[in-house]
Structure 1
Amino acid sequence: MKSKYWLVLFIVCGIVEIFAEATNIRALVLISKPLLMPILAGFAFFKAREMGVAVPGALFGALLFSLFGDVILLFASGNESYFLMGLVAFLIGHLFYIALNLRGKPKFRFDVEAIIFMLPILIFSGTMLSKIAEQSPTMTVPVSLYSTILCALFYTGLMAQNAKAKKDGLVLMGGITLFIISDSLIGLNRFIAPFAGAGVAIMATYIIAQYLLVLGNMMRREPKI
């Protein structure tokens, strides 16, 4: 089966999920959301076959724990324990993505360029954490840990971009940036200021982020002539 069919299926499932969020059809969310990561894994598998390469195990690990996070967060509304479990699942997923960034053995550096890119992320993370600490003190430590891992994901992605082809790195960084935006919207909506259309905004950025992360990692596997 060609990867393009899996991609079409992923796009359709994503549209259905976002429609379900927009129209508040809970049953449709329960069906469509857990299908996203398995379909994306199928896309990665068949894309790899077409490229004549193997899918890194860490990529499947990232998608598996993202699936766990997706399912757990379906039941996290008003339930802090489920939210924490979902947070842990996504944290582990991010660790797999970090491992993928490290595969190219990037050179870690703290020069002006790296600081320019990292500074807005650090300032934004600090601002969000201070607001969350005010609204929900018990979540300060777990959210701080999660934010640290997100910053590490961004930094290793930035270093991986310098170690690999520019196009690959840009796709990866696009995925990481959208993932940070999606997670920030979750924090904003849950802890600081709930807003209309949160589910749509969160899932739209999340779906695109995961696709770009998978695509970017597959592009890095493509044999360079």
Structure 2
Amino acid sequence: MSTHVWLLSVALGITALLNWSAVLRGDHVVERITKPTFMLLLGGLAWSLFTDSPPVDAPHLTPLLVALGLSLVGDLLLLTATEVRFRLGLLAFLAAHVAFVWTLLTVPGPSGFPWLVLPAVLVVFLMHGRFGRHVVRHAGRDRFAVLVYVLALATLLVVAAVKGDWVVIAGCFLFLVSDTILGHDRFVHERRWAPVTVMVTYHAAQLLIVLGLLR
């Protein structure tokens, strides 16, 4: 591991911890600084990992950076989630998931039938049946947009399962968990533990996807 990759990794960990602490304490100033900083550092880490020693089956870097950039835009919009900003943030993350799917499609998959698709589809159905349908039902005027977003998340997890990398699959699953908690907290029932849980699972998801693709 090169020096700058090591430094970026340490900075990423410190930024994540600061962000989680700020969310727990309700420190909006630190939260507004650390939330976008995490994604900027992660983009730098992705670039560094790709340029230092890209794996043989590395994905195309452009759609990955586009996905991370759109996630950054979504993060900024959701820092003060008014109705309009929430919808724009939802759109930004929807586009990010499309870019992540595009990234995964540039990676060669295993030969033979992708058996991991079967448990991935089962997880999608269970998550939607237990939580997702309630989020969509309570989303009001945003119901259609939320449904499309849920389908995009499901597609991302299934495509990751087709490719068969466990680290990427874990990252996509955590993305599904994070956004399900976020949607349930916003539209169905607020919980005190939800904001920090959303951020922990979100950060872990983004990091695992990047590391799984570029390790």
Is the shorter-chain TM-score for this pair beyond 0.5, marking a shared fold?
Answer: yes
Structure 1: 5+ residue runs without aligned partners?
Answer: 162-168, 220-225
Which residue among 187, 195, 198 is the counterpart of 2:194? 198
Matched with 1:223 is none
Matched with 2:75 is 70
Q: Distance in 1 between matches of 2:116 and 2:10?
A: 37
8 Å contact kept, 1:157–1:173: yes
Cα distance change on mapping 1:104 and 1:69 into 2, 3 Å: same
Matched with 1:15 is 17
For 1:12-40, what per-residue CA distance to the aligned partner results, in whole angstroms no more than 9, with x for missing partners?
00000000000000111111111011101
Aligned: 1:185 with 2:190: no
Aligned: 1:156 with 2:152: no
Q: Count the aligned residue pairs.
A: 210
Q: Structure 1: which amino acid aligns with 2:8?
A: W
Give 1:106-185 correspondences, 5 Å limit.
Answer: 106=109, 114-161=117-164, 169-185=165-181
Matched with 1:210 is 206
Which residue among 42, 51, 59 is the counterpart of 2:53? 51
Cα distance change on mapping 1:197 and 1:129 into 2, 3 Å: closer
8 Å contact kept, 2:168–2:209: yes
8 Å contact kept, 1:175–1:212: yes
8 Å contact kept, 2:42–2:207: yes
Q: CA deviation at 1:188?
A: 1.2
Which residue among 8, 13, 27 is the counterpart of 1:6? 8
Matched with 1:164 is none
Cα distance change on mapping 1:138 and 1:107 into 2, 3 Å: farther
Moved more, 83-92 or 103-112: 103-112
SS of residue matched to 1:2: helix
Q: CA deviation at 1:46?
A: 1.7
Give 1:91-106 correspondences, 5 Å limit.
Answer: 91-106=94-109
Q: What is the percent sequence identity of the aligned residues?
A: 27
Cα distance change on mapping 1:21 and 1:130 into 2, 3 Å: same
- Give me the CA root mean square deviation: 2.2
For 1:103-126, what per-residue CA distance to the aligned partner results, in whole angstroms no more than 9, with x for missing partners?
135489988753333123123224
Q: Distance in 1 between matches of 2:8 and 2:38?
A: 11
Structure 2: 5+ residue runs without aligned partners?
Answer: none
Q: Distance in 2 between matches of 1:60 and 1:44?
A: 8
Q: CA deviation at 1:3?
A: 0.4
Matched with 1:166 is none
TM-score, normalisation: structure 2: 0.90
Moved more, 55-64 or 4-13: 55-64
TM-score, normalisation: structure 1: 0.86
